[in-house]
Structure 1
Amino acid sequence: MKLDYLQALKRVNEARGAWVLHGQEPLLEQNLLDAFRQSWLINHVERERYDIQSVADWKNVFNALNSLSLFSQNLAIEVHGNIKPDTNALKLLKHYIQHNEHNLLLIIMPKQDSSSLKSAFFQIIEANGVVVPLTATYAQDRQRILSIEADKIGIQLSQDAWQWLEVHHEHNLLAAKNSLMRLADTFPDVQHLEMQHLLECLQDQSRYTTFDLSDALISGNLSQAIKIYQYLVEAGEPHSLVLWTVSKEMRLLMQLFEQPQNALQLGIWKTKVSLYQQALRRLNPKQFLTWPQLLLRIDAAIKGKNIENPEHLIQQAIAELCGKTLFA
């Protein structure tokens, strides 16, 4: 069968037979291995590790699985490598799966391509054991995983903060976890963290941040907004993070136009409600109809899906937020 990371975590204590973990997310691999090793320690399961350097090494693995020390009832063999068993070793694998219900063969491999996943080895494991892809493809999956990490250290993040954290780390789960730990250390007395906490803690101590860009956009200060944007680009901030900032402000203004009495419910800070209201009076609501398409064009340009220059498009969006136009 195939399980995702979170499903696998729940079944660690009952794992028997043959399991394969494969992927390129070090946080997920590290967490699962830690969970397995802790379970083995608590349940007095003997553990051995093998690093596969050649096909011949698989024979040693299966010899070990078929023998227990005098002091153990269960055995867990942890195998690391990217060399799959050959035909003879596959026979040993089948024999082990059919005749050994108490031990565990845990195989940790790097990310596998589609052809490898169709090989006889993976077909045998998936039909008789468990395959766990160490991936988190969707944003909601990454947030669920990181929420568990946040719970471990006793903090919670607002939705805006989660989105900013993901963009800031460009989907790197291990880096995001490290940032959560840094946040907990920086604000030990704060349990519910907002985006401003992340900006204070995680942004480099540079002259400008995306928080400054937001202030310039809502104030309608085009020259300052362009100046901050250019500084961020030169400082190495990814275009995706700048796009997130611009998109957030456009979204808030469009929502506030539709729901003028719900500023606080929309997530606008009480001290900044008047600034957003002034921005609405400065802007022509007809502009709002073009913003979603502009944001899609910027996103496509950043990802290389069109031939437009993302910097030019971002500057166009900045100008529109400030109530100006760069192009007729």
Structure 2
Amino acid sequence: MEDTFLNVYPKLSAADTNNPLNLTGLWLAHGDEPLLQQWLIDAMRSSWRAQNLAIKRVELVSSKTWQEVMGELNSLSLFDDATAVIVTGNHKPDKAMLQELESFASMANSGDNQNCMLWLTGKVDNRSKSSKWYVPFAQQGHVIDCNLYNENQRQQLLTFQAQKFGLNLLPEAWQFLMVQTEHHLLSAYQALWRLSYLYSPQTISPNESAIDTSELDPAAANTATTIDVAALKNALVSDAQYSVFDLSDAMLAGNAAQVVKIIEQLKATEEPTPLILWAISKDMRLIMQLMAGENPQSIGIWSSKQSLYQSACRRQTPQSIADWPDILYQCDKAVKGIVRQPAWELMLQAALRVTGHRLFY
């Protein structure tokens, strides 16, 4: 079954621990916007937890890694009823693995297997949809198109998030937001987040940013705080001297001293840790993809940034990036409060890895 993010996201988000969805079988979420894929994970997580599913991550470093994925899907646990495996990377399964995936999907659809596999990959074009690896997901699983194709879709999604924050932007405020953030989804979402702290007494954390469909109606909008252009301008002004984009530039340039300075400033001004981690993980994953032989343009790197990314690749070796998925996973757990190690400390370690430096050996 194929569907779009805008159709699926509200349905997944409406589920809670008292009314979870039965999320099993094969899921494929493809797109060039990591933020949408992360929101999809956040929306599915509550149902996974309600189903008592252990949540694990596997980074595809080659087609052989699919053996590890299948091992997780077929394993038994004494403490959890089943497992949800989040798979990242663009390596396709071979013929043998496809047969195993088809068998797994059939068992899940018949109720004989309660495990779930969510594969996050780059945008799948029409030509790729005719490939053999795509068939099990489209015919026996769920394929979610995590792409926004026009500004109406972008504003529709941001309107969902604004209502969740208890905000109702006037038309001129929406226009101003789109222009000031240069139609960048993350920047626009960050501005809405700031607005919620400034003007809405009841806010939620970014990790709970899923849409509640009960709030997506006129009555909800009427109870929300109305935001005009003047109010929006206050939210677009940050106390930080640097942004996550400055951090990205410093990492790619290999300027370790500047990375430390920027992260300390972002920490001091209490910039949101999920946004910092998003910027770091985006660059690390792009570098890993480049070093795996992928074309810069095909994975969404602007021509003006390609030289920076190529320079960052030259500072690394296959051995030096081998543990990057693990450090990102540890950062993610720290940001979510699952582990006690400070999130800022782990994110600094990750950012320095991109510059070619390590705090610990």
Match in the other structure for 2:75: 67
Secondary structure of 1:192 counterpart: strand
1:196 aligns with 2:204: no
The amino acid of 2:159's aligned partner reads S
The structure 2 residue matched to 1:111, chosen from 123, 136, 148, is 123
Secondary structure in 1 matching 2:63: coil
Deviation digits for residues 134-177 of structure 1 (CA, Å, limit 9, x no counterpart): 11213232222111211222111011211221232232211101
Report the equivalent of 1:211.
Answer: none
CA deviation digits over 1:186-232, x for unaligned, max 9?
Answer: 34579100123223442699xxxxxxxxxxxxxxxxxxxxxxxxxxx
Find the aligned partners of 1:204 and 1:54 in 2 and give their Cα distance.
41
Q: TM-score, normalised by structure 2?
A: 0.52
The root-mean-square deviation of aligned C-alpha atoms, in Å, is 2.3
Query: Residues 259-274 of structure 1: matches in 2 within 5 Å?
Result: none
- Are 2:93 and 1:85 equivalent residues in the alignment? yes
Report the 3-state secondary structure (helix = DSSP H, G, I; strand = E; otherwise coil) of the residue aligned with 2:128. Answer: helix
- Counterpart of 1:160 (choices 165, 172, 176) is 172
- TM-score normalized by structure 1? 0.57
- Render the CA deviation track for 1:89-119: whole Å, top value 9, x for unaligned: 1111111112234221111112233332332
Q: Report how many residues are paired.
A: 205
Distance of 1:67 and 1:37 partners within structure 2: 20
In structure 2, the CA distance between the partners of 1:201 and 1:67, relative to structure 1 (3 Å rule), is closer
Q: Is the CA contact 1:46–1:76 (under 8 Å) kept in the aligned structure 2?
A: yes
Contact 2:165 2:196 in 1 (8 A): yes
Q: For residues 297-316 of structure 1, what are the structure 2 equivalents within 5 Å?
A: none
Change over 3 Å in CA distance of 1:137–1:75 after alignment to 2: same
Counterparts of 1:46 and 1:203, CA distance in 2: 40
Alignment partner, residue 120 of structure 1: 132
* Counterpart for residue 5 of structure 2: 5
Aligned counterpart, 2:244: none
Q: SS of the residue aligned with 2:166?
A: coil
Match of 1:147 in 2: 159
Question: Contact between 1:26 and 1:174, CA under 8 Å: does it hold in 2?
Answer: no
| Aligned residue in 1 for 2:48 | 40
Unpaired segments ≥5 residues, structure 2: 14-20, 202-223, 240-361
Residues 125-136 of structure 1 mapped to structure 2, 5 A cutoff: 125-136=137-148
Q: Does 2:195 correspond to 1:183?
A: yes
Which consecutive unaligned segments of at least 5 residues does structure 1 have?
206-328
Per-residue Cα deviation, 1:2-33 (whole angstroms, up to 9, x for no partner) = 11113222147232210001112232112111
* Distance across 1 between alignment mates of 2:96 and 2:130: 18
Q: What residue is the counterpart of 2:28 in the other structure? A: 20
Residues 169 and 118 of structure 1, relative CA distance in 2, 3 Å threshold:
farther
Identity of aligned residues (%): 33
Q: Match of 1:56, SS?
A: helix
Alignment partners' CA distance in 1, 2:115 and 2:139: 18
User: Contact conserved, 2:60 with 2:90, CA < 8 A, in 1?
Assistant: yes
Q: Give the whole-Å Cα distance in 1 for the aligned partners of 2:169 and 2:140.
A: 40
CA offset digits 1:244-295 (Å, max 9, x no partner): xxxxxxxxxxxxxxxxxxxxxxxxxxxxxxxxxxxxxxxxxxxxxxxxxxxx
Kindly tell me: are residues 56 and 153 of structure 1, through their superposed partners in 2, closer, same or farther at Cα, counting changes over 3 Å?
A: same
1:75 & 1:185 partners in 2: Cα distance?
36
